[in-house]
Chain A
Amino acid sequence: NAGVTQTPKFRVLKTGQSMTLLCAQDMNHEYMYWYRQDPGMGLRLIHYSVGEGTTAKGEVPDGYNVSRLKKQNFLLGLESAAPSQTSVYFCASSYGQSFNEQFFGPGTRLTVL
Protein backbone atom coordinates (compact mmCIF):
# COMPACT_ATOMS: atom_id res chain seq x y z
CA ASN A 1 0.00 0.00 0.00
CA ALA A 2 1.52 3.28 -1.13
CA GLY A 3 -1.20 5.30 0.65
CA VAL A 4 -1.41 8.83 -0.76
CA THR A 5 1.20 9.90 -3.29
CA GLN A 6 1.80 13.27 -4.95
CA THR A 7 3.57 14.23 -8.16
CA PRO A 8 5.83 16.22 -8.47
CA LYS A 9 7.66 16.75 -5.15
CA PHE A 10 9.13 20.11 -6.18
CA ARG A 11 8.42 22.58 -8.95
CA VAL A 12 9.51 26.07 -9.91
CA LEU A 13 7.26 28.08 -12.24
CA LYS A 14 7.41 31.51 -13.77
CA THR A 15 4.47 33.87 -13.33
CA GLY A 16 1.76 33.06 -15.86
CA GLN A 17 2.79 29.46 -16.44
CA SER A 18 0.40 26.59 -15.85
CA MET A 19 0.81 23.22 -14.21
CA THR A 20 -1.09 20.27 -12.79
CA LEU A 21 -0.41 18.53 -9.50
CA LEU A 22 -1.41 14.88 -9.31
CA CYS A 23 -2.65 13.12 -6.21
CA ALA A 24 -3.25 9.37 -6.14
CA GLN A 25 -4.55 7.10 -3.37
CA ASP A 26 -4.84 3.33 -3.26
CA MET A 27 -7.10 3.05 -0.20
CA ASN A 28 -10.39 3.21 -2.12
CA HIS A 29 -11.32 6.41 -0.29
CA GLU A 30 -14.35 8.40 -1.42
CA TYR A 31 -13.18 11.79 -0.16
CA MET A 32 -10.14 13.67 -1.40
CA TYR A 33 -8.83 17.14 -0.53
CA TRP A 34 -6.27 19.70 -1.60
CA TYR A 35 -4.71 22.00 1.02
CA ARG A 36 -2.06 24.66 0.90
CA GLN A 37 0.29 25.28 3.79
CA ASP A 38 1.94 28.63 4.30
CA PRO A 39 4.14 29.68 7.25
CA GLY A 40 2.01 30.74 10.21
CA MET A 41 -1.23 30.01 8.35
CA GLY A 42 -1.79 26.33 9.04
CA LEU A 43 -3.51 24.19 6.42
CA ARG A 44 -6.18 25.83 4.28
CA LEU A 45 -8.60 23.85 2.14
CA ILE A 46 -8.53 24.73 -1.57
CA HIS A 47 -10.97 22.24 -3.10
CA TYR A 48 -12.33 18.85 -2.16
CA SER A 49 -14.25 15.96 -3.69
CA VAL A 50 -16.86 13.70 -2.13
CA GLY A 51 -16.64 11.11 -4.90
CA GLU A 52 -15.67 10.37 -8.47
CA GLY A 53 -16.88 13.10 -10.81
CA THR A 54 -17.62 15.62 -8.03
CA THR A 55 -15.70 18.65 -6.78
CA ALA A 56 -16.45 21.50 -4.40
CA LYS A 57 -14.79 24.74 -3.32
CA GLY A 58 -13.01 25.09 -0.02
CA GLU A 59 -11.76 28.14 1.85
CA VAL A 60 -9.27 29.44 -0.76
CA PRO A 61 -10.32 28.21 -4.24
CA ASP A 62 -9.45 31.26 -6.37
CA GLY A 63 -6.81 30.63 -9.02
CA TYR A 64 -7.15 26.84 -8.83
CA ASN A 65 -9.20 24.21 -10.63
CA VAL A 66 -9.62 20.53 -9.84
CA SER A 67 -10.87 17.35 -11.45
CA ARG A 68 -11.76 13.88 -10.14
CA LEU A 69 -12.24 11.75 -13.24
CA LYS A 70 -11.16 8.58 -11.48
CA LYS A 71 -11.86 7.67 -7.86
CA GLN A 72 -8.19 7.18 -7.06
CA ASN A 73 -6.94 10.44 -8.58
CA PHE A 74 -7.49 14.11 -7.72
CA LEU A 75 -5.82 16.74 -9.89
CA LEU A 76 -5.09 20.34 -8.92
CA GLY A 77 -4.49 22.81 -11.74
CA LEU A 78 -3.01 26.27 -11.79
CA GLU A 79 -3.94 27.97 -15.08
CA SER A 80 -1.84 31.11 -14.66
CA ALA A 81 0.52 30.87 -11.71
CA ALA A 82 1.11 33.89 -9.46
CA PRO A 83 3.81 34.47 -6.80
CA SER A 84 1.03 34.35 -4.15
CA GLN A 85 0.60 30.68 -5.02
CA THR A 86 4.08 29.85 -3.77
CA SER A 87 3.33 27.30 -1.07
CA VAL A 88 3.48 23.66 -0.02
CA TYR A 89 0.51 21.74 -1.35
CA PHE A 90 -0.84 18.69 0.44
CA CYS A 91 -3.35 16.22 -0.86
CA ALA A 92 -5.37 14.10 1.56
CA SER A 93 -7.99 11.39 1.40
CA SER A 94 -10.48 9.83 3.80
CA TYR A 95 -13.02 7.04 3.81
CA GLY A 96 -15.78 9.33 5.05
CA GLN A 97 -15.96 13.02 5.88
CA SER A 98 -16.84 13.28 9.53
CA PHE A 99 -15.21 11.12 12.21
CA ASN A 100 -12.69 9.88 9.67
CA GLU A 101 -8.93 10.26 9.65
CA GLN A 102 -7.53 12.19 6.72
CA PHE A 103 -4.39 10.59 5.28
CA PHE A 104 -1.98 13.10 3.80
CA GLY A 105 0.41 12.83 0.90
CA PRO A 106 4.08 13.90 1.19
CA GLY A 107 3.45 17.37 -0.22
CA THR A 108 4.57 19.37 -3.26
CA ARG A 109 6.73 22.44 -2.77
CA LEU A 110 5.84 24.98 -5.45
CA THR A 111 7.72 28.21 -6.06
CA VAL A 112 6.36 30.82 -8.47
CA LEU A 113 8.91 33.43 -9.56
Chain B
Amino acid sequence: KAGVTQTPRYLIKTRGQQVTLSCSPISGHRSVSWYQQTPGQGLQFLFEYFSETQRNKGNFPGRFSGRQFSNSRSEMNVSTLELGDSALYLCASSLDGVGETQYFGPGTRLLVL
Protein backbone atom coordinates (compact mmCIF):
# COMPACT_ATOMS: atom_id res chain seq x y z
CA LYS B 1 0.00 0.00 0.00
CA ALA B 2 1.16 3.49 -0.76
CA GLY B 3 1.72 5.69 2.26
CA VAL B 4 0.30 9.10 3.04
CA THR B 5 1.35 11.63 0.44
CA GLN B 6 1.47 15.38 0.80
CA THR B 7 1.91 18.03 -1.86
CA PRO B 8 3.74 20.22 -2.30
CA ARG B 9 6.72 19.25 -0.17
CA TYR B 10 8.09 22.78 0.01
CA LEU B 11 6.46 26.15 -0.39
CA ILE B 12 7.54 29.76 -0.08
CA LYS B 13 4.93 32.47 0.30
CA THR B 14 4.84 36.08 1.40
CA ARG B 15 2.83 37.63 4.20
CA GLY B 16 -0.80 38.21 3.34
CA GLN B 17 -0.99 35.48 0.72
CA GLN B 18 -2.97 32.32 1.10
CA VAL B 19 -1.89 28.74 0.65
CA THR B 20 -3.51 25.37 0.06
CA LEU B 21 -1.86 22.12 1.06
CA SER B 22 -2.99 18.69 -0.05
CA CYS B 23 -2.99 15.29 1.62
CA SER B 24 -3.84 11.90 0.17
CA PRO B 25 -4.40 9.28 2.86
CA ILE B 26 -3.59 5.62 2.72
CA SER B 27 -6.12 3.77 0.61
CA GLY B 28 -9.09 2.79 2.75
CA HIS B 29 -8.35 5.30 5.48
CA ARG B 30 -11.20 7.70 6.07
CA SER B 31 -9.84 9.84 8.91
CA VAL B 32 -7.36 12.60 8.14
CA SER B 33 -5.78 14.82 10.77
CA TRP B 34 -3.58 17.86 10.29
CA TYR B 35 -0.77 19.04 12.57
CA GLN B 36 1.56 22.01 12.65
CA GLN B 37 5.13 21.42 13.78
CA THR B 38 7.30 24.34 14.84
CA PRO B 39 10.57 24.34 16.78
CA GLY B 40 9.91 24.28 20.50
CA GLN B 41 6.17 23.65 20.08
CA GLY B 42 6.12 20.08 18.93
CA LEU B 43 3.18 18.91 16.87
CA GLN B 44 0.03 20.90 17.42
CA PHE B 45 -3.30 19.51 16.35
CA LEU B 46 -5.16 21.56 13.77
CA PHE B 47 -8.23 19.50 12.87
CA GLU B 48 -9.51 16.07 11.96
CA TYR B 49 -11.85 15.09 9.15
CA PHE B 50 -13.88 11.96 8.63
CA SER B 51 -16.30 11.33 5.79
CA GLU B 52 -16.04 14.94 4.63
CA THR B 53 -16.95 16.28 8.08
CA GLN B 54 -14.73 18.08 10.54
CA ARG B 55 -15.02 16.12 13.78
CA ASN B 56 -12.40 17.77 15.90
CA LYS B 57 -10.60 21.09 15.94
CA GLY B 58 -7.54 22.44 17.73
CA ASN B 59 -6.91 25.94 19.00
CA PHE B 60 -5.98 27.72 15.81
CA PRO B 61 -7.48 30.92 14.38
CA GLY B 62 -10.10 30.84 11.69
CA ARG B 63 -7.45 31.60 9.06
CA PHE B 64 -6.75 27.88 9.18
CA SER B 65 -9.40 25.81 7.50
CA GLY B 66 -9.69 22.48 5.82
CA ARG B 67 -11.93 20.17 3.93
CA GLN B 68 -12.16 16.56 2.91
CA PHE B 69 -13.39 15.14 -0.34
CA SER B 70 -15.46 12.04 -0.99
CA ASN B 71 -12.29 10.08 -1.84
CA SER B 72 -10.92 11.01 1.63
CA ARG B 73 -8.29 13.32 0.20
CA SER B 74 -7.98 16.44 2.30
CA GLU B 75 -6.86 20.00 1.80
CA MET B 76 -5.78 22.57 4.32
CA ASN B 77 -5.96 26.28 3.61
CA VAL B 78 -4.28 29.13 5.42
CA SER B 79 -5.40 32.62 4.50
CA THR B 80 -3.66 35.94 5.18
CA LEU B 81 -0.37 34.28 5.95
CA GLU B 82 1.74 35.54 8.84
CA LEU B 83 5.44 35.02 9.47
CA GLY B 84 4.56 32.78 12.40
CA ASP B 85 2.79 30.36 10.07
CA SER B 86 6.17 29.15 8.84
CA ALA B 87 6.20 25.52 9.89
CA LEU B 88 6.09 21.91 8.83
CA TYR B 89 2.50 20.87 8.21
CA LEU B 90 1.88 17.18 8.72
CA CYS B 91 -1.07 15.13 7.68
CA ALA B 92 -1.92 11.78 9.25
CA SER B 93 -4.47 9.18 8.27
CA SER B 94 -6.14 6.30 10.03
CA LEU B 95 -8.98 3.93 9.33
CA ASP B 96 -11.73 5.65 11.24
CA GLY B 97 -9.92 7.91 13.69
CA VAL B 98 -11.00 6.08 16.82
CA GLY B 99 -8.30 4.25 18.69
CA GLU B 100 -6.02 2.99 15.96
CA THR B 101 -2.59 4.24 14.96
CA GLN B 102 -2.16 7.25 12.74
CA TYR B 103 0.18 7.14 9.76
CA PHE B 104 1.93 10.36 8.91
CA GLY B 105 2.94 11.84 5.60
CA PRO B 106 6.35 13.50 5.08
CA GLY B 107 4.89 16.96 5.57
CA THR B 108 4.85 20.24 3.66
CA ARG B 109 7.47 22.76 4.69
CA LEU B 110 5.98 26.26 4.46
CA LEU B 111 8.15 29.34 4.65
CA VAL B 112 6.44 32.72 4.93
CA LEU B 113 8.60 35.72 4.07
Partners in one complex: no
